[in-house]
Amino acid sequence: MDNDKGEREKRHNDAPIPDNLEDWLTEEQLLALKHVESFGWQLKFIRRPAFQDPIVVLFSADGNKIGVMEKDGKIDMNPDITLREE
């Protein structure tokens, strides 16, 4: 499927957040997610590249900060990630 810019859509109709989080996140990530949600952080999406670990992306409550959750549940506040414009 092509979008307005003529680029191929990469999401293939996958939901940004899968219903089965326990299949995509480690136990440490699941625990850390519950913890950071209590501070207003939200799981924004999980990138699921083929043959690579999922990339868990969080946004702060005010939407001004992003973080990538590592496999051990720690959050990288300076991730090397490019976000698409919506």
Integer-rounded Cα radius of gyration of the chain: 14
Q: Considering the entire predicted model, what is its pTM? A: 0.78
Extended beta strands in 1-72, E state: 42-47, 55-59, 66-69
Partner residues linked to 66 by β-bridges: 59
Q: pLDDT tens digit string along 9-68?
A: 455 677 889 889 999 999 999 999 999 999 999 999 999 989 999 999 999 999 899 999
Confidence of residue 84 (pLDDT cuts 50, 70, 90): confident
